[in-house]
Every structure is written in C-alpha cells, then in structure tokens.
C-alpha cells in the first residue's frame, strides 16, 4: 500500500485543474467571505458593544451580494445561463431570482435580530454570521446543478439554522426547538441522501443535466429505482419546506425558536428548498412529470388542508403563523405541481412576496413577544390597535396579504398560483387551495379581531404592561415589508416580469 | 476486485490492532483497584451531583477543536503528496482552506474556548455553578486523604 | 415635454406623499403652500405638454406614454399609461389651472382649521386621481382615478365629520355612487370581452366594428356610471347633500371637475355611442334635459346659498348631457370649461361670503354685502351674468351652442332647455339680489313661510331706506340698515347684528376670484359662433370627436334668432327677479317658492320613505337570508374545521420520536404510492 503512495511521488505529471468562472459565484462568495470576516472580527473585538455594527456590516455584505447578483441577472438574461465547475453549478435566472429573495430574507431577519439580541441580553456576531452562512447554503442550493452540490447546500443551510434555532441560550424552549429540528432534520437528510443514491443508481449520474439527458434518450425498462428516488428526494425537500406529512416539526420549532430566526426559516429556507425542488423535479425530471405530479398533488392537498385546518384551533399566534406557513408552502407546491412555465413563475412570485409578508409578520411577533419572547398568546394581542396603532396596522397588512385580500401582493400570488393550476387542468387542487384560503382567512381575522376588538375588556383588566419598544432596525424591516406588500399588490407588474424572465426552459414531454 | 484489497487489509489491520491493544493491556497492566478509580470517569473532577449531570461544554469544545485540526491534516496529507502536480492552483486552494481553518481557530481562541476556568461569559449565572469553583477546587489531588481539613474547606 | 407626461399626475402625488408624511410638521400655512405649489407645477407641465401637442402632435394628435405593465394576467393586460390628445389635455389644463386657484383660495379659507394639513393632503390626492382619470389611456386607469376622486369626495364631504349630517352626507354620496360604479365596472368587463382590450386607442379604433347591440350595452352601462358621477336623474340626490363639505371642495369637486367626469367619459367614448342604437343618444339627451329643468325648479326655492349653486350645478350638468345626446360633443366640452370657470367662481364667491359672514349660509340673513365685500360682489356678479347667458360672457356662447344642437335634435328638447335657461337666470338673479343687494338682514331670525305683513312692511321700508342711503353715502349703508330695522317691529335685530361683521376676504381668496372672473368673461372666445375661423375649440377637438359630432344644418338666421330669444328670456327673468326680490313682493315670492320646489319634488323623502318602509322589509329579508343561510353555512364549515382540527391535533404530541415516526410513515406512503406506478 505504501509503495502505491510513494510510486506517485516519482513521476510528477500535471493534473488538469479546472478553470472556474468565479464571477458567476460572486454572490455566494461575497456572502461567505463576509460571514467569515464578521465572525473573526466580531470575535476579536469586545463582544458587547453599544453600536449595532454587526447588523450594519451584515446589511452591507448582503447588499454587496445582491449587487453582484444584479449584473449577473442581466448577463444571464441576455447571454443565457452560466455553467460553472464542470456544470456542477448553474447560474440562471431561477438561481438569481431566488438567490436575491434569500438574501433579502437575510436582511430582513438581520434587521429584526438586532433589537431582539439587545432585548434578550444576548450578544455577539454569531447570529448574523449564521444567517449569512445559512444563506450561502441556500444560494448554493438554488444554483446547484448536481445532486451532490445540492446536498452540500442543503446541509450548509440546515446546520446553520439548527444552531440559530437554539440561539437563545437561556430559553429552554429554544434549545428544545434546536434539538428537535436537528434530530428530525438529520433524519430527513438521510432520506434525501438515499434518494440521491437511488437516482444515481437509476441514471448513472448525479448531474442534473446528465440525468435529464439520460432520461430523454433512454427508456427505463425497470423504473422502480427512479420512482423510489423521487419519493425519497421529495421527503427531503418536503421536510425543509414543511409540507405535510413532514411538517410536524414546524409548529414546535417555530414556537421555540427566536422569532427573527423563524422569519428566516419561513422565508429564506423555504425559498432555497423550493429552488431545489423545482430544479430537481420540474427541470431534471421534466420528462417523468406524469410520475411525480400525482404525488406532489397529494402532498400539496395534504399540506394545504393541514396548514389551514390545524391553524384554526391554535391559540398561540406563533403556532398559528407556523401552520399558516405550512399552508403557504402548500400554495407554492400547487405552482410546482403544474410543472409548467406558468407554474414555476407563479411559485417564484409567491416566494418573493411571501418573504416580505412572513418577515413582517414575525417582525411584529418579535416585538409583541416582549422580553423573554414568551407573549405569543392571542390575548397578548388584545387591544394592540389602541396601544400601538401603527404596529397593529402593519400586522393587519401582513395578515390580510396572507389571506389574499385585494391591493396586497398576497392576492396576486394566490391568483397566479391558482391560475397555473387551472391551466394545468388541476381543478380540484385549485379548488382545495381556494377552500384552504377561506379556512385560513378565519385564522387571520381572528388575530385581527383580537388586535382591533376587545379593547374594553383589556381596559378593565388594566394589566399595567409597559409600552412596547420597537427598535429602529425593526421599524425599517416593518416599513420595508409593508411597502413591498402593498406596493407589489398595487403594481405587481415589475415582479411578474422579473419572475417571467427568471424561468428557464422546461424540457418538452416525450 | 483487486483494487479493494488495500481497504480489506486496512480493515483487518485495524481490528487486529484493537484486539492486540486490549490483550496487551490485560496481560501487562498491574491491577490495584480503589474507590476513586472505580467511580465514573470524569477527568478527575469530583462529582458534586449525581452522574447524569451536564458537563461543562468545554470538553466538547476541546474535542471539536481537535476535529478542526484533524480535518486539516486529512486534507494536508494528500496535498503534501501531490503538491507539485497541482501547481499554483492547488497552492491557492490549500491556502484558502488553511485560512478558513485558521479563521475558525482564531474565533475559538478569541471566544475563550481554551480558557480553562470558571464560567464568566454568560450573562445570567447558572445557579448550579458556583463562582468559587476553580481548577484547584474541582480537581482532586489524589492522596490528600488524612491531611488537615483546612485544604478541603475551599472545595465546599 | 413629450416624456414628461407622467409628471402631470406625479407632482400632486408627490405633494400628497409629502403632506401625508410631514403635513403635521409643516403646519399652517406651509402645508397649504406646498399643496398649491405642486398643483401649480403640474399646471405648468400641462401647459408645456399642450404646446408640444400643438406643434408636433403628429397626424392623429396623440401622445402616449406607457410607464409599465400594471396588471398582467394571462391574455388580460393593462398598462399604466397616459394618452394625451386634444380632449384630455384640454381637461388637464382647466383641471390643474382651476385646482391651483382653489388650492390658493383654500389657504385663506381653511385658516385656523385644526386639520388644515389633512385638507390639503386630500386635495392633492384628489387632483392626482382626477388627472389619472383624465389622462389614463385605458378604462382601468380611468377607473382607478374614478374611484380615487370618489374616495376623496367622500372624505372631504365628511371632512367636518363630528357633525352627524356631514357624516351621513358622505355616506349618501358613497352609496349612490356605488350604483354608477357598478355600471362602469360592468362596462369594463363587456368592453374587454368584446374587444379584448381596454385601451382607448383600441376602443376608438374597434368601436365601428362592434355589433350594434354590444356597443349599445357598453355605452348604456358607461352612461349609468356617468349618471352616478355627474349627478343626473335619478342618481342626483347625493350632490346637494355633498355641500356639507368645505366650500373649496364644493367648488373643485362638485362643480368644476369631478362631476364633469361623467361628461368627459361620454365624450371619450363617442365612437361607441355613434355605433350604438339610435335611441341611446335620445335617452341621454332626454335625461340631461329633464334633469336640467328639474334641478332648476328646485333651485328656485332654496335658501341656502350653496344649495342653490348645487342644484344649479346639477342643472348645468344636465345641459352637458343634453349636448352629448344631441351630438354636440364640442358643445359639451365647451360648456364644461365655461361652467368650470363660472361655477367655481360662484362657489368660491359664496365661500367668501360665508367666510365673511362668520359661517352664515342662509341667504335670508344676508343682503347689502356689495359695499362691504366689493371684490367678492363684483366677481360674483360676473359669474351670475355668465351662468345666465348674457352676452358677451362665456356662458352665453356655450349654452347657445348647446341649444342650437338641441333644436336640431328636437324642438321639444330645445324648449326644455330654453325654459331652464330662463329659470337659471331667475334663480341666480334672486341669489344675487338676496345676498348683495337689498337691505342687511344679518343675524335676523329666519322669517317663516307665512311672514307677518308687519315684518314684510318693515323689510320693504328698510329696502327703500337702504336704497336711498346707498346712493349718497356708501359707508353709512350698514348703519342706515341698522336704523331701518330698528325702526321696524323687529326688536332683537340689534344684538344679532352686533355679532356679525361682514368683511372682505384676504388676498389669497380674492385673487382666485378675480382670475376666475376673467376666465368667466373671456372663456367664450374659445368657440365663437358664426365664423368658422373663430371656432378654435371645435377645430382643436375635431380629431377626437370626428366619429360622433353631429353636423349642424340649421340656418344662420335661425341660430341668431334662437340666441336672441334666449337672451331676451334671461333679461326678462332678471327684471322679474328684481321686481320680486328687490321690491319685496313677498306674495309673488311665495307663489314662486313653492314647497314642492323647496323640498326637491319630494324625491329625496320618497326614497327615504321607500327605504324605510317596503325597502326596509326587503333588506331585512335579505339580511335574514345572509345571516341564516350564508353565515350558517360558513359557521357550519368553521365548526367542522374546528372539530377536525381538534382530532388531528392529537398527532402533534411534541415528542421527537412521534414526529420522526410521522416522517418515516409519510416516506413509506410516498414510496409505496410511487412504486405502485413502477414498471418492473
């Protein structure tokens, strides 16, 4: 054995080293490098500082990442997608669109984190570093053109989020959430990895382009392996997006995790996982869509119903929003299920608008949760409109947008998704989606009623609670989210146009 | 299947090495059991409560720092073998990797991962952990039994 | 200037945003000046665009600018775009011009109001919406503006919402306008399904190819919308009540701009009207003529200075619809412009009077104000002569043109228009005499319908004294009036007088009056009759109305004859009014001011009675159905969901092992489902 090793030494021959188009990876690299720099610098400087320079540096890095993504967007739009690292990474419109959505999710979550850390007397740059590292994984997933790279991205994304869930070291529930998320996440990753292995066994490659080419040129006489890999990959993705029946972790983890982190989980993590799901199923397995569509159909129906029905019986607002985010995942699945240009476009639009809604919602939850992040009962929202009219109004906007009320982005998001489902002739699915909207509208209105009604009772009880403190950074996040939610509701055109540009070509049917 | 032969050989060698180690220790080590030795293994710390208690996380930190360097070595070794073939590209890659590892090391040191002493960073103190616990008070110096009680006062 | 079209609405929008954000901090009067400046800026831009259109508008005299695709949804697409053609730019010019003047006026008028900045915020939003309505290049953008102006109108009618009447007037306007909006929306749907587009260019080009029935339905539905917005029969009821808002609002919304939106819409879609059934223009003309007469009779007997003007507005809008129905699109726009000048002038003059009298609106407690408020009085008289159609004031030319077209359509319509013109001259003369001439009756208790002969006599003598003193010593007039009323039986008049000190308004209020008065005099020059070269407006608008404009075939002699008859009628009405109201012929006045007129033909109260009686029962039935059947179904679903949720909730135990089991179970089911499709 040793002779084998030493034999190499004697004959030096050049190994072909790949040439890498680094410019295509810049958004990821900026985020990654920024995270490392912030981590080291933050560790060397005094930990508890009055200035929130962690936050501003994070925002700067994230903005830099977006700044690198925008020129790429135009380049990709005009000259077609970039294939990097021997086609392991493919930077196309889809990757950049969802990449920007993920980074925006990071920025909003970071803005919420600042005030949260101060209030809870937590410290350090770690939350920001982890947010950025997690987003790095997300960007990698969004641009992965190889199942291995996708798994890598998934793990980078997840590991950071597991830690983020346990960010609040003194809160037992936070630790519990991290533990649950970690154990179940590891469990589902195993399924995902197994799915990759089966896909490799069935097609002979982990590269998505190769897989697609293989499936286009060969007819499998025995496709059991491939179908099993569909199921297992779907388990992995379904877990990350909290689709039923793999959703069970979501309410517990959302409830226990620090609220700013939840906003990240519900926006960026979902966007990344959906990016992977769309890449693998809608594009790589495009020709087998008749095999996987029914399964996604079933999962979507279950997710929609579980998300809306179970939300109704909750009394904890954070859990309600957790279930509602399951419901929204169902909506995006409806778009994916259509497996068409229009479906993907509607899914992208949904994810982009949902990011603002959910970040805003959990922003309000963060603030109302007060010190200790514990006041999430419906009763804690009673009379909010009286004490904090602007905050209540912002929450009203987010809730109505999630319910799909006109003049909010939520309406268009739901409208496009259902339109795509109808175009794909999935009428029953569209019907279930609309029904679930009605059911979940009940839940949103319940919160609204609590905020805008019940003021008198609160008066008599007169619990002398101090005024809510709304940190400056959180204010920015809320204002941005409100403006985006209403803005895209009034003028959906630009975003629709962008999502249209982002969608790559889907391989035609056999 | 010839290509897998070294793997099989490695496997066999590992098993043989383990068996040999156990056997050697059985045969060669002198055996003088005492109460302190048969208590649960806790790096010499006096158990202040029942065994299923949380350890200071520092132990894990040390283990993790070890893993960081372990992984670095795993990458360094093959690189050292073929660094000439890889050329400048390989050098840049390994430097990047080394910087990343070094950054994490700096982070660990700066956060006091190797400061061995009482917990001092967490904002709110764990009620189960006393500030007076120090290295001298928590490590039992074997063979002190029977000495004047003054030394033991510190531990309480 | 071609690329700056977007700035026309953007400037007021920016003003709105700034006022919304910093209005409170700016305070009085900065907030008002900011609002005025943005609208004035918008006027300047409009002027620039207008000149561009004149010089290089191209063959079809159209400039378009599309900002972005506003609503893309499948095959349906609506751009946020602007269409500038002679029609829309003419509208823009007078909307921004008059709006700027009224903003300026409001700076003085709203002085001291606690919600000063809010007022200007709404006002700027209104101007923005109105410009969107006018400039929009498709029905959807117009509808956006349509609803926007409506919303601003409701806000501002109820601006002083602490009074119940004001709040309910706002509600009334809202509810009535819903009916019209329904028509507009249905028309939009029909247009899209018939033509596949909502853009005006598409509608104008495609109208001639439309089947007659479709064109009729679309035009009819749009007419329903126009009837609601422009307060025609049977939906006029909201406009008189809308006078509850501040007077500048009445002048800007409910006289000059917003209420003319319906007329604008009808002119805009004139090719569709041309393609529709022949009975539709007749219907429009009839509705217009009847409304004009109907509202004029009501105006005869109103005592509130603003109510008279409100009914007068309804009546004049009726003229415009009469013009539209008669094919006189140019006449409609011409009258709209002249009306905007003189009616805004009259409203602002009335506002100035109300302001000077310390919020007094009852004309029976005014009088003899011309000495104290010389500028207001002089400009108001200009407005009066203009609306009465006395040459050479603008109203004469525009009204005359409409009446000529009405004659060509049908002499009956002309007769109605003619009678209305006489009534208009009469009630406006009545208003002027009651407010500015005669004796000072400030603070007097309102005489009941059957005034005692004694009081009557006293009033008469007071009038005479007033007249004589006025001629020799101008400054003594109020004093003399005091003495006169003291001499009469009216004992407590003195104390009442002490509270009222009529005074002229500040320059910010009088300057707009003067400017508008000049406009009211010369606006007639836009479209002088008789000589073709003098018909500037007609040539200017020709590209827009070429499909619909009727061709005049009546002889010049007849035209002159009709004009002379109208003028003579107006002058006779003046004389009559002078006789009745200056000579104090109370008995004749009572004959004229019939209760049936004063109560608005009982139209309002019969609607109220219906809504309170059978209507109420109907609504109760609907409400019962809604509560029991619809809500019952909803509640049933809710109960079902809740129950189901409680069942399923058991699965959410909180144990990781159970969750993992769930994931594994789900995975097995998925694999099973997929493998059932497998080919082995």
Please, are residues C428 and C305 in contact by the beta-carbon 8 Å criterion?
A: no
* C322 CB burial (10 A radius; 0-12, 13-18, 19+): buried
Counted domains in chain A: 1
Greater model confidence, C67 or C74: C67
Residue C263 or C501, more confident: C263
Tally the C-alpha atoms within 13 A of residue A86's C-alpha that lie toward its C-beta.
7
- pLDDT score at C589: 66
In a domain, A339, yes or no: yes
Which residue's entry shows tokens 């007129």?
A: C597
With CB atoms and an 8 Å threshold, state whether A180 touches C656: yes
pLDDT at C492: 39
Q: Do B84 and A4 touch (CB under 8 A)?
A: no
Per-residue pLDDT band at B151 (split at 50, 70, 90): very low
- Contact residues on chain A for B86, CB-CB shorter than 8 A: 15, 17
Q: Is C400 left (phi over 0), alpha (psi -120 to 50) or beta?
A: alpha
The model's pLDDT over C631-641, given as tens digits with 9 standing for 90+, comes to 666 677 667 77
Q: Does A142 touch chain C (CB under 8 A)?
A: no
Torsions phi, psi of C65, nearest 5?
-145, 125
The pLDDT of residue C307 is 84
pLDDT of the residue at A330: 94
Q: pLDDT per residue over A168-198, tens digit each? A: 888 888 888 999 999 999 999 999 999 999 9
Mean pLDDT of A44-66: 85
What separation in angstroms does the CA of B42 have from each of A85, B45, B47, B61, C246?
Answer: 48, 6, 8, 16, 85
Closest CA to C198 of C141, C256, C139: C139
pLDDT of residue A91: 92
Subunit contact A40:B85, Cβ cutoff 8 A = no
Sign of the Cα torsion A455, A458, A459, A464 reads negative
Phi and psi of A506, rounded to 5°?
-95, 140
Question: B touches which chains (3+ CB pairs under 8 A)?
Answer: A
Question: B123, C612, C620, C278: which is closest to A124 by C-alpha?
Answer: B123
CA distance linking residue A225 with residue A198, whole number of Å: 6
Residue C355 clears pLDDT 50, i.e. is over it: yes
Instruction: CATH number of the domain at B106, please.
Output: 1.20.58.1610
Region of A121 (left: φ > 0; alpha: ψ -120 to 50; beta: rest) is: left
Phi, psi of C136 (to 5 degrees): -55, 140
> Which tops the pLDDT comparison, C659 or C556?
C659
d(CA A17, CA A8): 18
Q: Does any domain span residue B73?
A: yes
Query: 3-class SS at C429?
Result: helix
How high does pLDDT run on average in chain A?
88
- How many angstroms away from the CA of A33 is the closest CA of chain B? 9
Length of chain C: 680
Task: Report if residue A202 sits inside a domain.
Answer: yes
The residues on B that touch A, with CB distances below 8 Å, are 6, 9-10, 81-82, 84-87, 89-90, 100, 103-104, 106-107, 110-111, 121-124
Model confidence, pTM: 0.61
Beta bridge partners of C64: C83
C-alpha A8: how far from its chain's center?
47
Q: Which of C665, C664, C659 is nearest to A252 (CA)?
A: C659
Instruction: Give tens-digit pLDDT for C470-525.
Output: 333 333 334 334 433 433 333 333 344 446 677 777 787 888 888 888 888 888 77
- Are the beta carbons of A13 and B85 separated by less than 8 Å? yes
Asked whether residue A495 carries a pLDDT value surpassing 80, the answer given is yes
Domain presence at residue A2: no
Helices (DSSP H) in A122-217: which residue ranges? 126-143, 147-165, 172-203, 208-217
Chains C and B touch (3+ CB pairs under 8 A): no
| Alpha carbons A381 and C385: distance in angstroms, whole number | 63
CB A100 within 8 A of CB A115: no
Size of interface A-C (CB pairs under 8 A): 124
- Is A8 a domain residue? no
Q: How many angstroms separate the CA of residue B81 from the nearest CA in chain A?
A: 7
**Residue A129's pLDDT band (cuts 50, 70, 90):** very high
Percent of chain C whose predicted confidence (pLDDT) is above 70: 79
Q: What pLDDT does residue C182 have?
A: 83
- For C621, residues 6+ apart whose C-beta sits below 8 A from its C-beta are none
What's the mean pLDDT when you consider all of chain C? 77
Do the domain assignments include residue B86?
yes
The structural domain count of chain B equals 1
DSSP 8-class letter at C548: T
Taking only the tens place, the pLDDT of each residue in A355-389 is 999 999 999 999 998 888 888 888 888 888 888 88
With CA atoms as reference, the chain B residue closest to A126 would be: B107
Q: Is the dihedral of CA C407, C408, C410, C413 positive or negative?
A: negative
Our CA-based measurement puts residue A55 at a distance from the nearest CA of chain B, in whole angstroms, of 19
Q: What is the pLDDT of residues C514-573, one digit of tens each?
A: 888 888 888 877 777 666 666 777 777 777 777 777 777 777 778 888 888 888 888 888
Touch A-C: 3+ C-beta pairs under 8 A: yes
On whether residue A18 sits in a domain, the answer given is no
Residue B108 domain flag: yes
pLDDT band of B140, cuts 50, 70, 90: low
* pLDDT-based confidence at residue C55 (cuts at 50, 70, 90): confident
% of chain B residues with pLDDT over 90: 8
> Quick one: pLDDT band at residue C309, thresholds 50, 70, 90?
confident
Q: Which chains touch C (3 or more CB pairs under 8 A)?
A: A
Which structural domain range is residue B89 located in? 53-116
Q: What pLDDT score was predicted for residue C58? A: 66
State the pLDDT confidence band at A2, using cuts at 50, 70 and 90. low
What's the confidence (pLDDT) of residue C502?
A: 74
Q: Are C274 and C206 in contact (CB under 8 A)?
A: no
Q: What is the pLDDT of residues C126-178, one digit of tens each?
A: 899 898 888 888 888 888 888 888 888 888 887 777 777 777 777 777 777 77
Chains with 3 or more CB pairs under 8 A to chain A: B, C
Alpha helices per DSSP H over B29-147: 35-38, 58-110, 135-138
Taking an 8 Å cut-off on Cβ atoms, the answer to whether A179 and C656 are in contact is: yes
A11 in contact with B, Cβ within 8 Å: no
On whether the CB atoms of residues A492 and C72 are closer than 8 A, the answer is yes
Q: Which of C594, C584, C583, C575 is nearest to C299 (CA)?
A: C594
SS3 C578: helix
| Residue found by looking up tokens 């706002």 in the block | C170
List C-alpha distances in Å: C278 to C212, C327, C458, C631.
Answer: 10, 11, 58, 46
SS3 content of chain B, % helix, strand, coil (to 5): 60, 0, 40
CA of B88 vs chain A CAs: smallest distance (Å) = 10
pLDDT at residue A394 in the model: 92
Q: Shortest Cα distance from C680 to chain A (angstroms)?
A: 5
Partner residue facing C642 (CB), from A187, A312, A419 = A312
Question: Are C288 and C321 in contact, with CB atoms under 8 Å apart?
Answer: yes
Give the minimum alpha-carbon distance from A349 to chain C in angstroms, rounded to a whole number. Answer: 13
Phi, psi angles (nearest 5°) of residue A86: 55, 45
């Amino acid at each position: 054995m040793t002779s084998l090793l030493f034999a190499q030494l004697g004959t030096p021959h050049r190994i072909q080293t790949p040439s890498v188009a680094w410019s295509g990876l810049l958004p990821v690299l900026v985020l990654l490098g920024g995270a490392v720099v912030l981590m080291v610098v933050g560790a060397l400087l005094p930990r508890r500082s009055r200035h929130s320079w962690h936050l501003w540096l994070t925002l700067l890095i994230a903005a830099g990442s977006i700044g690198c993504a925008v020129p790429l967007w135009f380049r990709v739009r005009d000259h077609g997608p970039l294939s990097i690292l021997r086609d392991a990474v493919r930077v196309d419109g889809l990757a950049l669109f969802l990449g920007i959505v993920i980074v925006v999710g990071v920025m909003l979550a970071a803005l919420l984190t600042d005030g949260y850390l101060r209030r809870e007397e937590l410290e350090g740059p770690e939350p920001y570093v982890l947010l950025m590292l997690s987003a790095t994984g997300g960007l990698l997933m969004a641009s992965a053109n190889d199942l291995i790279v996708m798994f890598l991205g998934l793990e980078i994304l997840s590991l950071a989020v597991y830690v983020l869930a346990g960010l609040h070291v003194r809160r037992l529930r936070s630790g519990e959430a991290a533990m649950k998320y970690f154990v179940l996440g590891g469990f589902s990753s195993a399924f995902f990895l197994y799915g990759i292995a089966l896909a490799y066994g069935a097609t002979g490659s982990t590269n998505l382009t190769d897989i697609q080419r293989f499936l286009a040129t060969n007819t499998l006489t025995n496709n059991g392996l491939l179908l099993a890999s569909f199921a297992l990959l779907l388990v992995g993705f379904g877990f990350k997006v909290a689709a039923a029946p793999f959703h069970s972790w979501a309410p517990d983890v959302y409830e226990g995790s620090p609220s700013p982190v939840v906003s990240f989980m519900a926006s960026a993590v979902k966007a990344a996982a959906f990016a992977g799901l769309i890449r693998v199923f809608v594009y790589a397995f495009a020709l087998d869509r008749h095999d996987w569509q029914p399964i996604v159909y079933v999962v979507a129906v279950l997710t929609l119903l579980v998300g809306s029905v179970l939300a109704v019986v909750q009394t904890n607002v954070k859990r309600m929003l957790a279930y509602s985010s399951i419901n929204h995942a169902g909506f995006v699945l409806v778009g994916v299920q259509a497996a068409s240009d229009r479906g993907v476009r509607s899914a992208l639009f949904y994810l982009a608008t949902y990011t603002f809604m959910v970040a805003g919602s959990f922003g309000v939850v963060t603030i109302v949760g007060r010190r200790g992040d514990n006041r999430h009962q419906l009763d804690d929202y009673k009379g909010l409109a009286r004490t904090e009219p602007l905050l209540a109004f912002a929450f009203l906007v987010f809730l109505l947008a999630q319910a799909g009320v006109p003049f909010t982005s939520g309406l268009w998001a739901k409208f496009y998704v259902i339109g795509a489902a109808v175009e794909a002739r999935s009428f029953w699915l569209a019907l279930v989606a609309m029904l679930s909207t009605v059911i979940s509208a009940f839940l949103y209105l319940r919160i609204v009623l609590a905020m805008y009604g019940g003021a008198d009772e609160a008066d008599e009880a007169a619990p002398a609670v101090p005024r809510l403190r709304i940190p400056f950074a959180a204010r920015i996040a809320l204002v941005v989210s409100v403006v985006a939610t209403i803005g895209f509701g009034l003028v959906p055109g630009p975003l629709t146009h962008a999502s249209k540009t982002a969608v790559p070509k889907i391989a035609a049917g056999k | 299947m010839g290509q897998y032969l070294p793997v099989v050989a490695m496997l066999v060698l590992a098993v043989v090495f383990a068996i040999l180690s156990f056997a050697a220790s059985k045969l060669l080590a002198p055996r003088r059991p005492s109460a302190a030795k048969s208590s649960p293994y806790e790096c010499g710390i006096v158990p202040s409560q029942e065994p299923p208690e949380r350890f200071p996380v520092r132990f894990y930190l040390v283990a993790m720092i070890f893993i960081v360097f372990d992984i670095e070595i795993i990458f360094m070794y093959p690189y050292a073998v073929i660094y000439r073939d890889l050329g400048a590209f390989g050098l840049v890659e390994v430097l990047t990797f080394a910087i990343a590892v070094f950054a994490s090391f700096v982070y660990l040191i700066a956060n006091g991962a190797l400061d061995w002493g009482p917990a001092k960073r967490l904002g709110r103190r764990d009620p189960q952990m006393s500030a007076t616990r120090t290295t001298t008070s928590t490590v039992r110096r074997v063979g002190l039994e029977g000495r004047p009680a003054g030394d033991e006062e510190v531990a309480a | 200037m071609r690329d700056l079209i977007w700035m026309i609405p953007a400037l007021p929008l920016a003003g709105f945003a700034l006022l919304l954000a910093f209005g409170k901090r700016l305070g009085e009067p900065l907030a008002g000046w900011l609002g005025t400046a943005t609208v004035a800026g918008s006027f300047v831009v409009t002027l620039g665009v207008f000149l561009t259109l004149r010089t290089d508008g191209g063959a079809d005299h159209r400039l378009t600018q599309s900002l972005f695709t506003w609503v893309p949804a499948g095959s349906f697409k609506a751009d946020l775009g602007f269409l500038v053609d002679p029609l829309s730019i003419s509208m823009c010019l007078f909307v921004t011009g008059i709006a700027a003047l009224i903003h300026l006026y409001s700076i003085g008028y709203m002085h001291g109001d606690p919600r000063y900045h809010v007022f200007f915020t709404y006002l700027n939003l209104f101007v923005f919406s109105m410009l969107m309505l006018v400039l929009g290049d498709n029905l959807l953008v117009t509808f956006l503006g349509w609803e926007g102006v409506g919303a601003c109108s409701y806000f501002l009618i109820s601006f002083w919402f602490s009074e119940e009447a004001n709040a309910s007037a706002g509600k009334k306007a809202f509810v009535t306008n819903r009916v019209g909006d329904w028509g507009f929306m249905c028309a939009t749907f029909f247009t899209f399904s018939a033509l596949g587009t909502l853009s005006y260019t598409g509608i104008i080009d495609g109208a001639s190819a439309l089947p007659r029935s479709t064109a009729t339905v679309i035009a009819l539905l749009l007419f329903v919308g126009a009837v609601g917005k422009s307060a025609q029969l049977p939906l006029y009821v909201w406009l008189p009540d809308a006078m509850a808002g501040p007077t500048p609002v009445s002048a800007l919304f409910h006289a000059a701009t917003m209420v003319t939106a319906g007329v604008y819409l009808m002119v805009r879609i004139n090719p569709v009207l041309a393609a529709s059934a022949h009975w539709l223009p007749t219907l429009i003309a009839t509705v217009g003529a009847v409304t004009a007469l109907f509202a004029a009779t009501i105006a005869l007997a109103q005592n509130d200075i603003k109510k008279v003007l409100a009914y007068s507005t309804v009546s004049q809008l009726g003229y415009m619809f009469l013009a539209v129905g008669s094919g006189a699109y140019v006449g409609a726009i011409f009258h709209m412009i002249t009306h905007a000048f003189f009616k805004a002038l009259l409203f602002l003059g009335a506002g100035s009077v109300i302001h000077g009298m310390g919020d007094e609106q009852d004309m029976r407690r005014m009088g003899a104000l011309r000495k104290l408020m010389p500028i207001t009085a002089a400009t108001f008289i200009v407005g009066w002569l203009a609306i009465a159609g006395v040459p050479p004031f603008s109203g004469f030319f525009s009204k005359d043109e409409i009446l000529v077209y009405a004659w060509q359509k049908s002499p009956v319509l002309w007769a109605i228009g003619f009678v209305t013109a006489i009534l208009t001259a009469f009630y406006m003369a009545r208003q002027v005499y009651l407010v500015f001439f005669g004796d000072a009756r400030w603070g007097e208790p309102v005489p009941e319908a059957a005034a005692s002969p004694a009081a009557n006599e006293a009033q008469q003598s007071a009038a005479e004294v007033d007249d004589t003193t006025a001629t020799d010593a101008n400054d003594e007039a109020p004093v003399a009036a005091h003495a006169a009323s003291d001499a009469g039986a009216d004992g407590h008049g003195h104390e009442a007088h002490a509270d009222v000190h009529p005074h002229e308004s500040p320059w910010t209020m009088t300057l707009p009056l003067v400017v508008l008065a000049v406009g009211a005099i010369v606006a007639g020059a836009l479209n002088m009759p008789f000589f073709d070269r003098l018909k500037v407006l007609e040539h200017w608008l020709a590209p827009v109305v070429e499909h619909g404009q009727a061709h005049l075939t009546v002889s010049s002699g007849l035209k002159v004859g009709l004009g002379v008859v109208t003028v003579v009628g107006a002058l006779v009405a003046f004389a009559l009014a002078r006789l009745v109201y200056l000579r104090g012929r109370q008995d004749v006045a009572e004959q004229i001011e019939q209760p049936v007129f004063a109560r608005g033909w009982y139209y309002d109260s019969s609607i109220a009675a219906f809504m309170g009686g059978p209507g109420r029962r109907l609504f109760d039935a609907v409400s019962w159905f809604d509560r029991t059947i619809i809500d019952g179904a909803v509640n049933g679903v809710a109960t079902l969901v809740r129950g189901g949720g409680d069942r399923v909730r058991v699965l959410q135990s909180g144990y990781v092992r159970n969750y993992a089991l769930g994931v594994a179970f789900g995975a097995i089911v998925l694999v099973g489902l997929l493998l059932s499709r497998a080919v082995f």
